[in-house]
Amino acid sequence: MFPTSLIRSTVNPAEIAHFSRLSALWWDEHGEFSFLHKMNPVRMQFIREKILEIARDEQPDLSGNNPDILNGLDVLDVGCGGGLLSESLARLGARTLGIDASESNVAIARHHSTLDPRLSQNLSYRHTPAESLLSEHKQFDVVCSMEVLEHVDNPALFLSTCAELLKPSGHLFLSTISRTPLAYLLTIFLAEKVLGKVADGTHTWSKYIKPSELIEFFHKYRSPSQHPEASRPWITRLYGDGVPTRTEAEVRGLVFNPLQAGWMLAPRGAWGATECNYIFWARKPALESALDSIKS
């Protein structure tokens, strides 16, 4: 793990102040965060289906529609905001911890969860940066961080923090926005400046990260290990056009359909679908794969 002295923060105070100001609006489905509300079912669909897909690789007799796949898993939602994703995870039975750098966001999230009796047992929130969980030696089956990466300082540190909060074989889910002209046009020029759907200053183009950059990061990234010679990068193989194997990582576009005023999950490899919003998944290498490679 990281020696404590090396912990730098990924928290950008201006960003946090911005979200704190808007915190009262989190649960207005028609307001500032309506896009996130509408995106949430699609993010959940991907999370559920991906975990199910991997579980079925390992247990082929598992039902293709198993509603309980998240039940009982330890899940961390980093930058949970008002708790949109955290509540959904908890409703599916995941033991969910939502953390956020903004105190008022956490307060709103906590208050909202008290309205729903189904949430009280497996949902909790903490006002803390992800880095301090590392020092508590907590690890989770699943770490999610939705629409946060584009708001942090030092994204590489943020990614490695999320990575190390996972147990071996754990699932990492990130959704964010790519750094493309299209993304600038849609998420900043249109959404903030022209339509005013999202508060001005919410996004900074230069902080956007491309899917290829995330893949590149995890192609190199190795979890710190007592057996450095055994640890492998999260992504070991890339096909010709930079596509990882389905069992190590995946990128899917999230596409807004204005006709239905809703988001959809683009099919795998859909052309141009990841030019703006996308969701990324990667899996931490299993412990035994490291040990296996030592033995051989």
Residue 50 corresponds to which tokens in the numbers above? 């991906």
Q: In the complex with other proteins, which residue's Cβ is closer, 92 or 143?
A: 92
Q: How far apart are CA 44 and CA 46, in angstroms?
A: 5
155 contacts ligand SAM (rule: CB under 6 A): no
Q: How far apart are CA 164 and CA 221, in angstroms?
A: 11
Of 52-60, 96-104, 218-226, 259-267: span binding ligand SAM (CB under 6 A): 96-104
CB of 14 to ligand SAM, least distance (A): 10
CB of 25 to other proteins, least distance (A): 11
101 contacts ligand SAM (rule: CB under 6 A): yes
Eight-state DSSP code of residue 285: P
Torsion angle, CA of 98/36/191/177, rounded to 10 degrees?
60
Instruction: Give the count of beta carbons closer than 10 Å to the beta carbon of residue 170.
Output: 22
With CB under 6 A as the contact rule, the residue among 42, 52, 69, 84 that binds ligand SAM is 84
For residue 160, what is the enclosing H or E element? helix 155-164
Please choose which of ligand SAM, other proteins, none residue 171 contacts, taking the beta carbon within 5 to 8 angstroms, the exact cut-off set by kind. Answer: none
Residue 182 has φ and ψ, to the nearest 5°, of -60, -45
CB of 210 to other proteins, least distance (A): 27
Is 237 assigned to a binding site? Answer: no
Residue 145 has φ and ψ, to the nearest 5°, of -150, 105
Q: How far apart are CA 24 and CA 148, in angstroms?
A: 18
Residue 148 corresponds to which tokens in the numbers above? 């946060």
Please check whether residue 76 is in contact with residue 140, taking contact to mean a CB–CB distance below 8 angstroms. yes
With CB under 6 A as the contact rule, the residue among 51, 94, 96, 102 that binds ligand SAM is 102
* Of the candidates 120, 163, 110, the residue with the CA atom closest to the CA atom of residue 140: 163
Please choose which of other proteins, ligand SAM, none residue 273 contacts, taking the beta carbon within 5 to 8 angstroms, the exact cut-off set by kind. Answer: none
Phi/psi region, residue 130 (left: phi>0; alpha: psi -120 to 50; beta: rest), is alpha
Q: How many residues bind ligand SAM (CB under 6 A)?
A: 23
Residue ranges binding other proteins (CB under 8 A): 27, 29-30, 37-38, 40-41, 44-45, 48, 55, 58-59, 65, 67-68, 70-73, 87-93, 112, 115-118, 120-121, 167-169, 260-262, 286-288
Is 100 assigned to a binding site? Answer: yes
Instruction: Give the count of beta carbons closer than 10 Å to the beta carbon of residue 57.
Output: 11
| Maximal CA-CA distance, the chain | 60
Show contacts with ligand SAM in window 13-72 (CB under 6 A): 15-16, 19, 36
With CB under 6 A as the contact rule, the residue among 42, 52, 73, 100 that binds ligand SAM is 100
Instruction: Give the count of beta carbons closer than 10 Å to the beta carbon of residue 208.
Output: 20
Binding mask 222-261 for ligand SAM (x = CB under 6 A): ----------------------------------------
Q: Which residues are annotated as a binding site for S-adenosyl-L-methionine?
A: 43, 79, 100, 146
Question: Footprint of ligand SAM on this chain (CB under 6 A)?
Answer: 10-11, 15-16, 19, 36, 78-81, 84-85, 100-102, 105, 129-130, 146-148, 151-152
Q: Which residues are annotated as a binding site?
A: 43, 79, 100, 146-147, 150-151
Q: Which residues are annotated as a binding site for Mg(2+)?
A: 147, 150-151
